[in-house]
């Protein structure tokens, strides 16, 4: 059972098994079982760890949008990661460069002079959280620690969306970092082997990682002829990091990073342990700033059309897609699967956004669109925008 992930021998597990077996015996749905025992688990766990993250309790990712691990149960998350304004040329030399691209109309096949702009994001990173004391992002493309922080991890809401809607934020879905960033990669790759920075060798090749007895990932990568491994742990004091490098051929290893205090803990051929101290200090709130709309406008509606993802299914140019086009929709007649019909008005648009299951337009599938619970001004802005699409 999943619950085996809990610390072995704890009183909790016994209680859980008893409770769960009892419930199963009664043939009650797991849903009810969870409702019954969740608060109990959370209380016990909270007392012990001072954390409530279901990930730590259950050992699996839940619908929680701000999952956290712990020292005993590190959370390893492969995901898009924020760039955190890292200097691209020095720190991300093995990534390519995205460029602006002309906007495109899928129904005319023509391009416009306006352009799509790239956004910030690291495509192939590994994010790790050990609870409040440490989070870090290690990148498989650069084979390098990119940044580390405390007191938080990643807010996945813009990427995973809520349980009900699963809605990604249109052009801003890179998970949001929250907490206190104390380390950021600067300059060339900090590792030198036999006196040569590995930045000067061919692009490093990520080989994989092992989970060691501390349940921590130990990364392995190749650079030139060298096979390197790296374990990242919290340092001896808060906002420090302990990095253990080793190589298979007993090379001389050195770690250096501009404007970063590095303490060498041990150094023998093929092994290097350092502690690095903070070189940054930036606080990122755990709450996303929400813009308050003073007055609904068509422009805000247009932005919402993109950011809420309406754009994926409803075209503006009459083009066919999963949902009806918005072009000329306002005031037009709609026929529904039920056989009923009506003329599109504000109330119908509002209902279609808030409760899309209420009516399904003929020729389309029922249940494709998730419900959108928005602010009044957001509904109004969207309605203004939809009215404007003639």
Partner 1 sequence: MKKILSLFLCLSSSLSGSVNSYTVENIAFPNDMPPEVGGLAFDEKGYLYACLRRGDVVIAKPGKDPKATKWEVFATGLHNPMGMILIKPGHIIVSQMAELTEIIDTDQDGKADRYNNLSTDFGISGNYHETNAICPDGNGGYYIALGTASHNGPTFHTPRGEYSKEGRRGRNFSSNQLRGWIVHYEKNGKLSPFASGFRMHNGITRSPDGEIWSGDNQGDWRGGSPIYNVRPGSFNGHPSSLVWDPDLKNFGTPIFLPRKMLDDLHNQPSVQLTRKTMSSCGEPFIIKSENFGPFNGQMLVPDENGRRINRIMMEKVDGAWQGASTLFLNTEELRAGGVRIAMDAPGKSIYYASTARGWQRPDEGIQRITYNGNTPFHVKDFKLTTQGFEIWFTEPIQDPEKLAEKISVRSFRFEYGYRYGSSEKDKKEHKILSSNGNESFEISIEGMEAGRIYELEFSSKLLSLKGEKMDDPQIQYTLNRLKRPSSTHRTSLIKSKDGIEVNVAGKFFAKYNFDKLSQPIIWPIQGPGNIRMLRDYPFKKDTTGEAKDHPHHRGIFIGHQVMSGAGFWHNQFKTSGTVEHLKVIESRSGEDRALIKTLNAWKDSEGKTIGADTRTMTFGGDDVARYLDLEINMHATNQDLVFEEFKDGFVGIRTHPDLRLTPSPKYGVNKVFGNARNSVGGEGKKIWGKRADWVHYYGTIEGKEAGIAFFSHPSNLAQKGERSWWHARDYGLISANPFAPTKLGGDGKHTIKKGQSLKLRYRFVFHSGSKDDAGIEERFADYAKDPGYPTSIMPPHPGYPEEYLSKKSK
In angstroms, the CA 242 to CA 233 distance is 5
In angstroms, the CA 90 to CA 200 distance is 12
Contact 169, 307 (CB under 8 A): yes
Count interface residues toward partner 1 (CB under 8 A).
90
State which of positions 85-114 bind partner 1 (CB under 8 A): 88, 92, 95-99, 101-104, 106-111, 113
Residue 169 or 271: the one with the smaller Cβ distance to partner 1 is 169
Contact 241, 234 (CB under 8 A): yes
Measured torsion, CA atoms of residues 273, 182, 143, 124, in degrees rounded to the nearest 10: 150
State which of positions 10-69 bind partner 1 (CB under 8 A): 24, 27, 29-31, 34, 38, 54, 58-64
Is residue 80 close enough to count as binding partner 1 by CB under 8 A?
Answer: yes
Q: How far is the CB of 29 from partner 1 (least distance, A)?
A: 7
- The closest alpha carbon to 234, from 15, 114, 70, 108, belongs to 70
Residue 96 or 237: the one with the smaller Cβ distance to partner 1 is 96
State which of positions 347-366 bind partner 1 (CB under 8 A): 356, 363, 365
Residue selected from 275, 309, 349, 381 as contacting partner 1 according to rule CB under 8 A: 309
Q: How many angstroms separate the Cα of 332 from the Cα of each of 4, 319, 357, 386?
A: 58, 16, 20, 12
Residue 21 or 283: the one with the smaller Cβ distance to partner 1 is 21
- The closest alpha carbon to 353, from 288, 305, 306, 316, belongs to 305
In the DSSP assignment, the letter for residue 249 is: T
Residue 187 or 263: the one with the smaller Cβ distance to partner 1 is 187
Interacting span for partner 1 (CB under 8 A) from 10-18, 292-300, 347-355, 369-377? 369-377
State which of positions 310-339 bind partner 1 (CB under 8 A): 311-312, 315, 319-322
Residue selected from 134, 241, 369, 389 as contacting partner 1 according to rule CB under 8 A: 369
Residue 270 or 356: the one with the smaller Cβ distance to partner 1 is 356
Instruction: Return phi, psi of residue 307, to 5°.
Output: -70, -30
Q: Angle at Cα 269 formed by Cα 265 and Cα 274, nearest 5°?
A: 20
Residue selected from 7, 208, 236, 258 as contacting partner 1 according to rule CB under 8 A: 208
Residue 125 or 274: the one with the smaller Cβ distance to partner 1 is 125
Structure tokens at 128: 């790790």
Is residue 121 close enough to count as binding partner 1 by CB under 8 A?
Answer: yes
């Amino acid at each position: 059972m999943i619950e085996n992930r809990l610390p072995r021998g704890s009183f909790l597990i016994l209680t859980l098994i008893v409770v769960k077996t009892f419930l199963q015996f009664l043939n009650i749905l797991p849903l009810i079982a969870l409702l019954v025992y969740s608060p109990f688990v959370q209380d016990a766990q909270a007392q012990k760890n001072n954390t409530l993250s279901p990930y730590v309790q259950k050992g699996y990712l839940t619908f929680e949008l701000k999952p956290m691990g712990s020292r005993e149960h590190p959370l390893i998350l492969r995901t898009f990661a924020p760039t955190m304004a890292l200097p691209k040329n020095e720190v991300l030399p093995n990534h390519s460069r995205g460029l602006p691209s002309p906007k495109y109309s899928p129904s005319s096949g023509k391009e416009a002079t306006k352009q799509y702009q790239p956004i910030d994001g690291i495509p192939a990173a590994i994010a790790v959280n050990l609870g409040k004391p440490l989070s870090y992002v290690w990148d498989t493309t650069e084979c390098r620690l990119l940044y580390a922080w405390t007191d938080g991890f990643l807010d996945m809401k813009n990427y995973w969306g809520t349980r009900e809607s699963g809605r990604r934020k249109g052009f801003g879905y890179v998970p949001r970092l929250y907490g206190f960033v104390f380390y950021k990669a600067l300059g060339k790759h900090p590792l030198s082997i036999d006196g040569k920075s590995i930045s000067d060798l061919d692009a490093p090749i990520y080989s994989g990682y092992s989970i060691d007895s501390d349940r921590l990932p130990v990364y392995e990568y190749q650079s030139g002829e060298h096979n390197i491994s790296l374990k990242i742990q919290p340092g001896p004091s808060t906002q420090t990091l302990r990095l253990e490098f080793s190589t298979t051929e007993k090379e001389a290893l050195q770690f250096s990073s501009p404007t970063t205090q590095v303490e060498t803990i041990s150094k023998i051929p093929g092994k290097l342990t350092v502690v690095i101290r903070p070189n940054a200090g930036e606080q990122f709130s755990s709450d996303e700033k929400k813009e308050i709309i003073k007055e609904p406008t068509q422009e805000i509606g247009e932005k919402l059309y993109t950011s809420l993802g309406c754009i994926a299914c409803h075209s503006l140019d009459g083009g066919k897609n999963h949902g009806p086009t918005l072009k000329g929709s306002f005031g037009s007649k709609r026929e529904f699967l039920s056989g009923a019909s009506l003329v599109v008005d504000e109330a119908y648009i509002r209902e279609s956004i808030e409760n899309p299951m209420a009516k399904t337009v003929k020729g389309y599938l029922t249940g494709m669109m998730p419900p959108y619970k928005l602010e009044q001004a957001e509904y109004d802005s969207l309605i203004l925008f939809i009215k404007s699409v003639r």
